[in-house]
Amino acid sequence: MPRIRIVCISDTHGQHAKLGVPDGDVLIHAGDFMAFGDTPSEIVDFNQWLGGQPHQHKIVIAGNHDWMFERHPGAARELLGNAIYLENSGTEVAGLKIWGSPVQPEFNNWAFNVARGAAIRRYWEMIPDSTDVLVTHGPPFGMLDKSHPSTAHLGCEELAKAVEQIKPRLHIFGHIHGGHGQLTASGMCFVNASVVNEAYRLVHEPQVVEIDVSSEQAAPIPCIR
């Protein structure tokens, strides 16, 4: 399979059933799939929805709203049987090495919050240099990380340094709803896959990226939707 079609979503906040999800080989959710965060029934509902999606591979990380994955990780993971769940860990599917992490810089004491600087850097030091697709809940500093065009950058400085060093072909994230979109920089494709706006209204469609796994070029083929 020389080309892999990756469907990217994030920050569905319990509204996954309302999404029209394009076909693809891999479905990746970059966190905040729960609305309240500590209710097992939310995970069960999301897992059932995942099971109905046609993609051969489904990969999920948690986000700052997904409290149960931090407070009751064993129970939460057991309920998410229709996806590969990544938490500072990796997997390989369809010839792509994928690494996922839910951590993001500290803000209002949400789940998977870590202090900026050395504390959060140690998580990014875990990312293998061979990573093709990086999935984090939050964005790197300066990349699709503003809640509004006129506001400050909110992404992680240490993550930005790690990404520049590792240079994954594709970096998928969400968390900052207002940063929805895609850009290419330094030979890498960055996708903020948030599907809701800052008011938690479902306003964006999933984004689709194709990667040619038989090519040595660094960047994916640009988003085709």
Strand duo 170-173 + 133-136: pairing: parallel
Report yes or no: 52 and 27 within 8 Å, Cβ to Cβ. Answer: no
Beta-ladder partners of 221? 210
pLDDT tens track for 75-110: 999 999 999 999 999 999 999 999 999 999 998 899
Residue 219: pLDDT over 80? no
Mean predicted lDDT score pLDDT of the chain: 94
Strand duo 170-173 + 104-105: pairing: unpaired
All domains in the chain, ordered by first residue: 3-212 (3.60.21.10)
Measured torsion, CA atoms of residues 74, 126, 164, 149, in degrees rounded to the nearest 10: 30
pLDDT tens track for 125-179: 999 999 999 999 999 999 999 999 999 999 999 999 999 999 999 999 999 999 9
Would you state the structure tokens that stand for residue 72, as one six-digit string?
Answer: 């009751």
How large a percentage of the chain has pLDDT more than 70?
95
